[in-house]
């Protein structure tokens, strides 16, 4: 909506308020509702110029999202075989991804499209994009950010219209938030709410109570001027591209804000993929006395930094770590290659180290835990002590 048009709408609402003092509250409510509806309709219409529909064909459900043998093992009272790769990335949810269109945003005039990486967890063999002018064209993946849930696509098109992004200092809790998606047949999927909070997910997300569903993922979250606040994605306080998908339509939704999008997009355009960052350690997740390092992978960031078995992780980037859940919350939104400040507790000493998180493919195996005795050998009675008088 241009400034002149928006000014007319606001002026019309103000004039209606004055007139309603005479006509009564009912007329006041009606005029206000009409002005609000006209404003939302104008925002949605403006979004059509940079919102695209994305369809995918093929691919398979990620392993972590498939119905596993866990139920069978539970029924049989047995334990499942442990995963030999301790550092395998998990989708983060058991949600099964159904066929259906999703949404994207034009990033630049040269055919780059930004969307949610949720749309590509199945690794589809065919991706098509329906542009705002109705053309349908194949697309290829340039790069993916599996941490902030964004993917950059490229289509053979030019002269596309990118959106206007809302400045960071103008994104505030309480302002209108309008989510726009592209459903079946190209029909719009619109949800209206407010910005519930900013700086969520370690500063990587805006929270909104607008109801978001998979149709909205990858689409814009807009302010009342039609500017893009962020790109809608599923999120939760745990790692995985599908983490948070189970909250869809629950009134707790998230969007990667425009300022963060611009930071990430520059690397995505270069073909740089962002993957989850790992310390490369084993810890007891049920311990209540802190996070104690049981083992470090070889190689791993912790081993390279001189972290020893038995050390406790006391803090990460200034966040106190009291239990395993704190450790997950401190790391779940940090990509490989990012430096973190780790404070260790070794005995009574506090040790500060800077560690660069690694991709899981860069981690070696965890050394085997040494048993205090060989369980394959028969038990033997200990040798009796030598009497003192017989000692040399």
Give residue-wise pLDDT tens across range 175-193. Answer: 999 999 997 766 678 999 9
Under the banding of pLDDT at 50, 70 and 90, the label for residue 381 is low
Under the banding of pLDDT at 50, 70 and 90, the label for residue 247 is confident
Under the banding of pLDDT at 50, 70 and 90, the label for residue 77 is very low
Q: CA-to-CA distance for 253 and 257, rounded, in angstroms?
A: 13
The answer to whether domain 50-59+99-274 and domain 281-362 are alike in fold is no
Above pLDDT 70, what percent of the chain?
81
Rg (CA), the chain: 27
Instruction: List pLDDT tens digits, range 301-310.
Output: 999 999 999 9
Under the banding of pLDDT at 50, 70 and 90, the label for residue 35 is confident
pLDDT of residue 74: 39
Residue 335 has phi, psi (to 5 degrees) of -85, 160
pLDDT of residue 209: 96
Residues linked to residue 253 through DSSP beta bridges, in sequence order: 208
Q: CA-to-CA distance for 151 and 118, rounded, in angstroms?
A: 9
Average pLDDT for 65-83: 42
> Which secondary structure element, helix H or strand E, spans residue 323, and what is its range?
none
Lowest mean pLDDT among 203-207, 265-269, 375-379: 375-379
pLDDT of residue 89: 79
Contact between 177 and 222 (Cβ < 8 Å): yes
**Which has the higher per-residue pLDDT, 92 or 76?**
92
SS3 282: strand
C-alpha torsion sign, points 339, 323, 343, 367: negative
Above pLDDT 90, what percent of the chain?
64
Topology at the third CATH level for domain 281-362:
Pdz3 Domain (2.30.42)
Mean pLDDT of the chain: 85
pLDDT at 131 over 70: yes
Q: CA-to-CA distance for 41 and 296, rounded, in angstroms?
A: 56
Under the banding of pLDDT at 50, 70 and 90, the label for residue 94 is confident
pLDDT of residue 389: 65
Instruction: List pLDDT tens digits, range 328-339.
Output: 999 999 999 999
pLDDT of residue 70: 37
pLDDT of residue 282: 93
Under the banding of pLDDT at 50, 70 and 90, the label for residue 382 is low
pLDDT of residue 81: 44
| CATH code 2.40.10.120 for 50-59+99-274 | yes
Lowest mean pLDDT among 86-100, 232-246, 265-279, 354-368: 86-100
Lowest mean pLDDT among 19-33, 129-143, 266-280, 285-299: 19-33
**Which has the higher per-residue pLDDT, 233 or 384?**
233
C-alpha torsion sign, points 320, 322, 325, 331: positive
Burial annotation 209-239 (CB, 10 A radius, 16+ → b, else e): bbbbbbbbbbbbbbbbbbbbbbbbbbbbeeb
pLDDT at 295 over 50: yes
Average pLDDT for 100-122: 93
Lowest mean pLDDT among 61-65, 251-255, 349-353: 61-65
Under the banding of pLDDT at 50, 70 and 90, the label for residue 67 is very low
pLDDT of residue 20: 53
Domain ranges of the chain: 3-47, 50-59+99-274, 281-362
Lowest mean pLDDT among 114-123, 317-326, 348-357, 379-388: 379-388
């Amino acid at each position: 909506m241009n400034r002149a048009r928006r000014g007319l709408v606001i002026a019309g609402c103000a004039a209606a308020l004055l007139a309603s003092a005479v006509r009564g509250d009912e007329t006041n409510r009606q005029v206000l509702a009409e002005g609000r509806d006209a404003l939302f309709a104008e925002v949605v219409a403006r979004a059509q110029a940079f919102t695209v529909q994305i369809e995918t064909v093929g691919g398979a459900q990620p392993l972590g999202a498939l119905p596993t043998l866990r139920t069978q093992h539970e029924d049989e009272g047995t334990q499942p075989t442990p995963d030999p790769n301790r550092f395998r990335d998990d989708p983060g949810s058991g949600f099964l991804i159904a066929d259906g269109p999703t949404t994207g945003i034009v990033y630049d005039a040269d055919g780059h499209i930004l969307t949610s990486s949720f749309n590509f967890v199945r690794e589809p063999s065919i991706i098509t994009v329906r542009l705002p002018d109705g053309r349908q064209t194949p697309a290829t993946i340039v790069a993916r950010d599996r941490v902030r849930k964004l993917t950059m696509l490229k289509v053979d098109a030019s002269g596309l219209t990118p959106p206007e992004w809302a400045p960071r200092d103008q994104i505030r809790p309480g302002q209108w938030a309008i989510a726009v998606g592209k459903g079946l047949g190209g029909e719009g999927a619109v949800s209206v709410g407010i910005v519930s909070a900013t700086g969520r997910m370690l500063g990587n997300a805006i929270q909104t109570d607008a109801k978001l569903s998979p149709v909205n993922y990858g689409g814009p979250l807009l302010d009342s001027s039609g500017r893009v606040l962020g790109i809608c994605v599923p999120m939760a306080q745990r790692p995985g591209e599908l983490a948070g998908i189970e909250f869809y339509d629950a009134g707790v939704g998230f969007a990667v804000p425009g300022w963060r999008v611009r930071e990430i997009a520059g690397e995505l355009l270069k073909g740089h993929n962002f993957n989850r960052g790992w310390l490369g350690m084993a810890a007891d997740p049920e311990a209540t006395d802190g996070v104690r390092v049981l083992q470090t992978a070889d190689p791993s960031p912790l081993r390279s930094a001189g972290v020893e078995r038995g050390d406790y992780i006391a803090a990460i980037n200034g966040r106190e770590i009291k239990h395993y859940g704190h450790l997950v919350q401190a790391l779940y939104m940090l990509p490989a290659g990012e430096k973190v400040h780790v404070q260790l507790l070794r005995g009574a000493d506090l040790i500060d180290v800077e560690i660069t998180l690694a991709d899981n493919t860069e981690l070696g195996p965890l050394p085997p835990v040494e048993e205090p005795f060989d369980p394959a050998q028969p038990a033997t009675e200990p040798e009796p002590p030598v009497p003192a008088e017989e000692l040399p």
